[in-house]
Amino acid sequence: MLLEVAVLVSVGRHPVSARARRADGDARAAEMALKLCERYGAQLRLIHAGDPAEPVLRDYCGMGPDALVVLELASGLDALPVISRYLCAARPRLVLTGSQAEQGVCSGQLPYVLAEALGYPIVTSIAGIELGLTHADLFQALPHGRRRGLRASLPVVASVALAAPPPRQSAFARARRALIVREAVPDAPRVPAPVYSQRPARAHQPRARGQGAAAGIDRLRAIREAPDSRGQRIEGAHPDEAARAILDHLTGKGVLKSDRAR
Amino acid sequence: MRRDPRVEREHAEPMVSTEAAVRVRRDPRALRAVGLLAPGARLRIDRSRPMTLVDAAASAQARGTTSALPVVVPLIVEDPACWVLAVPDASDGRLSLHDRDAQGAARGLADSCGGAVVTLVFEPVEALGAAGADRVMRFDSVMQGYAPETRAAAVLAAIDTLQPRHVVFPDNLTGGGDLGRRVASRLGEWPATHARRCKNGAIVSHGDGGRSDFLHETPRLVLVDSGAGGTVSEVLREGRMLEAPMVAVDPRITDLGMLPVDLDSVPLAEAEVIVSGGAGIKDWDSFHLLARALIAAEGGSRVACDAGFLPRERQIGASGTLVAPRFYLALGISGAPQHLQGIARAESVIAVNTDPHAEIMKRADLAIVGDAQSIINALLRLLAEVRDVA
């Protein structure tokens, strides 16, 4: 059975230079999809909604796909209905996206809305994927490098975390060779994208005072309940005793728990 | 937002019970005596602890007076104009700072429309009244593990029952941010994401890769950024339990549980436990064995990386990686200022060094004066014994 994977790619912006580039999350999603093609023989479709002449799209082409589908869209129009209509017609088994855009409001809402429109389940922040016949095993990235295993029935929408493997380099010749296929979605409603008043970001406000006070109360409680253990010092102990002290310290704080097993 | 005591009092008077309406005289000396923490060089007073009856009686007796007893009565909102729902993650039975931001934002939204905050939780969470919750709705037993679809259904059921004016979530990757977006897509609404401030009905959300703020009218669903909440005032709220509606969904995502951590793929900056070596290590093979046995990431000082014992990306310090582990085990590291900068955000540090005056010994929570190499060998023996027993 041929498995079709759709990857939604967008034009990103470099966080420092603000130049247009491959969006990091989208490039990781494309990388993940390319690996799936190599491993399972899946059929890949990269999809972008916007201007087909955008030079950044060539960076995605340079990663290895034969073609990139561009749903033509004038600037200022909402991409969501167009992508949604296109995917509802194509109905791929797996839709991969980044977690959020790198320019614009960056709400991260698009994969959820698409999943709702397609009637697929959605799994977010994934760092790896394995495919079965009727289901996908997805590895969700959590803080501290932890991973959670999730099983979702296919078809599924998944958004890729920044903890996923980094994307391959874009090759110039391949980027030149790949086709950019323009596709029109005639029956999609042309809706103007919502406009918000925008201003340069202001510095993050410090945490409000009431909350600081709450945190302070917690600190005071900690002082009250636990005698100050900072700066415990062991001198002239036998190495075995010292090792025992270290181990007790680690065990007391829950480092040597069984669920941290490799 | 500045507190206005007069407005608060006017607001509170018809709602508090009659006993509490009698103003009681504060006894600052007694409060201070009660809150005095353990003796130390620094005077610390915990003013959060409400005076108990016994404390107050004792202080009154000591001063030969019979003062009226201050009793902390929660503010009761019986018939609010609207509801504001707050959905904190509260992942291990307590509110994180980000959860408190969500509570604070919900509190602010509720206060601006004379409403009350309903906090929705999925497991027992303590002290929600102190975090500004007028009501608590608890869905439990069905939400074990990662169940975003069931949780979204629960939030939708609560929205259906209460018809809240706003619903506030903490905007993070796999908790409230995920849940809030799920709920929004089910409702067909567009939420305010990465919200930083709510002011006069408008909301500022942070976007454009962190370069811009966007201003828009406050929608029903609000996802707040960390550190962005309004003030949770110190007024104690009631936290009365509401009955949770029934939820039944057929989840399409199943939780397979946590996977073992693959240390090689985890960036050093994210590692939870780090074993770090410096000039005091003689046998690096035993160091690697120790890191494996403790399931810890390996790091090193500049000296160790310069000498080629560890790759450069394992260097910890100002010119290497700034790490924030829960535990940092520094073996044979003296603690150059650049290295100490690198471990400034480490929660707990254990240091082993032959020099009792080394800088790292002052930073350490457990400082052991001794030879790092022999202690590594002893630790390996001990860990092997522990494993054999288990």
Testing the interface with A: which of B250, B366, B377, B386 to mutate, by most A Cβ within 10 A? B366
Contact A99, A109 (CB under 8 A): no
Contact A240, B378 (CB under 8 A): yes
> Does residue B297 lie in a domain region?
yes
DSSP symbol at B244: P
Q: Which of A140, A257, A159 is nearest to B257 (CA)?
A: A140
- Tell whether B254 is within 8 A of chain A (Cβ): yes
> Does residue A100 lie in a domain region?
yes
C-alpha dihedral, B10 to B16 to B18 to B23, nearest 10°: -60
Q: Does residue A262 surpass a pLDDT of 50?
A: no
Distance to chain A for B191, nearest Cα, Å:
8
Nearest-CA residue of chain B relative to A141? Answer: B174
Q: Does residue B20 surpass a pLDDT of 50?
A: no
Q: Are residues B272 and B325 both part of a single domain?
A: yes
Q: Are residues B98 and B216 both part of a single domain?
A: yes
pLDDT tens by residue, A18-75: 899 999 999 999 999 999 999 988 899 999 999 999 999 999 999 999 899 999 988 8
Residues 6+ apart with CB under 8 A from B174: A124, A125, A140, A142, B146
- Tell whether B17 is within 8 A of chain A (Cβ): no
Token output for B359: 């800088």
Distance to chain B for A162, nearest Cα, Å:
11
Q: Are residues B116 and B196 both part of a single domain?
A: yes
> Does residue B255 lie in a domain region?
no
Pick from B242, B276, B309: which residue ends a domain? B242
> Does residue A31 lie in a domain region?
yes
Nearest-CA residue of chain B relative to A166? Answer: B265
In chain B, residues 140-199 whose CB comes closer than 8 Å to chain A: 146, 149, 173-174, 177-178, 181-182, 184-186, 188, 190-191, 193-194, 196-197
pLDDT of residue B130: 83
Domain holding B158, by residue range, is 83-242
CATH code for the domain of B311:
3.40.50.1220
Q: Are residues B120 and B212 both part of a single domain?
A: yes
pLDDT of residue A227: 47
Distance to chain B for A170, nearest Cα, Å:
23
Say which of A140, A231, A239 has its CB closest to residue B375: A239
Residue scoring higher pLDDT (B84 or B268): B84
Q: Looking at A146-160, B1-15, B179-193, B245-259, which range is the least confident one? A: B1-15
Please report how many Cα atoms fall inside a 13 Å half-sphere around the Cα of residue B189, on the Cβ side. Answer: 16
pLDDT of residue A229: 46
Q: How far is Cα of residue A103 from the mean position of the Cα atoms in its chain?
A: 15
Pick from B227, B242, B257: which residue ends a domain? B242
* Beta-carbon separation of B294 and A232 below 8 A: no
Pick from B208, B242, B276: which residue ends a domain? B242
Please report how many Cα atoms fall inside a 13 Å half-sphere around the Cα of residue A214, on the Cβ side. Answer: 27
DSSP symbol at A169: P
CATH code for the domain of A140:
3.40.50.620
Question: Number of A:B CB contacts under 8 A?
Answer: 269
Contact B367, A231 (CB under 8 A): yes
Contact B223, B170 (CB under 8 A): yes
Testing the interface with A: which of B32, B375, B389 to mutate, by most A Cβ within 10 A? B375
Per-chain mean pLDDT for chain A: 86
* Beta-carbon separation of A208 and B104 below 8 A: yes
Testing the interface with A: which of B8, B368, B389 to mutate, by most A Cβ within 10 A? B368
The DSSP H or E segment spanning B352 is strand B348-353
Q: Looking at B14-18, B137-141, B190-194, B314-318, which range is the least confident one? A: B14-18
Q: Are residues B46 and B105 both part of a single domain?
A: no
Q: Are residues B212 and B361 both part of a single domain?
A: no
| Span between the terminal Cα atoms of chain B, in Å | 56
Q: Are residues B284 and B160 both part of a single domain?
A: no
User: Which chain A residues are closer than 8 Å to B48 by Cβ?
Assistant: 217, 220-221
Task: State the amino acid at position A198 in one-letter form.
Answer: Q
Residues 6+ apart with CB under 8 A from A176: A58
Distance to chain A for B45, nearest Cα, Å:
8
> Does residue A62 lie in a domain region?
yes
Q: Are residues B169 and B111 both part of a single domain?
A: yes
> Does residue A56 lie in a domain region?
yes
> Does residue B359 lie in a domain region?
yes
Q: Does residue B374 surpass a pLDDT of 90?
A: yes
Inter-CA distances, B255 with A2, A148, A152, B148, B343, Å: 27, 8, 9, 10, 35
Q: How confident is the model at residue B101 (pLDDT cuts 50, 70, 90)?
A: confident
> Does residue B258 lie in a domain region?
no
CATH code for the domain of B145:
3.40.50.620
> Does residue A239 lie in a domain region?
no
Count how many domains chain A has: 1
pLDDT tens by residue, B236-267: 888 888 888 888 888 899 898 888 777 777 77
pLDDT tens by residue, A193-216: 888 888 888 877 665 444 444 556
> Does residue A205 lie in a domain region?
no
DSSP string for residues in B134-176: SEEEE--SS--SS-HHHHHHHHHHHHHHH--SEEEEE--SSSH
Q: Does residue B69 surpass a pLDDT of 50?
A: no
Q: Are residues B128 and B33 both part of a single domain?
A: no
> Does residue A148 lie in a domain region?
yes
Q: Are residues B224 and B280 both part of a single domain?
A: no
- Tell whether A21 is within 8 A of chain B (Cβ): no
Distance to chain B for A116, nearest Cα, Å:
6
| Alpha-carbon span B260 to B312, nearest angstrom | 26
Nearest-CA residue of chain A relative to B130? Answer: A214
Count how many domains chain B has: 3
Contact A124, A138 (CB under 8 A): no
> Does residue B10 lie in a domain region?
yes
- Tell whether A192 is within 8 A of chain B (Cβ): no
Q: Are residues B273 and B179 both part of a single domain?
A: no
Q: What is the mean pLDDT of residues B357-374?
A: 91
> Does residue B308 lie in a domain region?
yes
Q: Are residues B95 and B179 both part of a single domain?
A: yes
The DSSP H or E segment spanning A72 is strand A67-72
Domain holding A97, by residue range, is 4-183
> Does residue B34 lie in a domain region?
yes
> Does residue A235 lie in a domain region?
no
Q: Looking at B124-128, B241-245, B263-267, B333-337, which range is the least confident one? A: B263-267
| Alpha-carbon span B337 to B317, nearest angstrom | 8
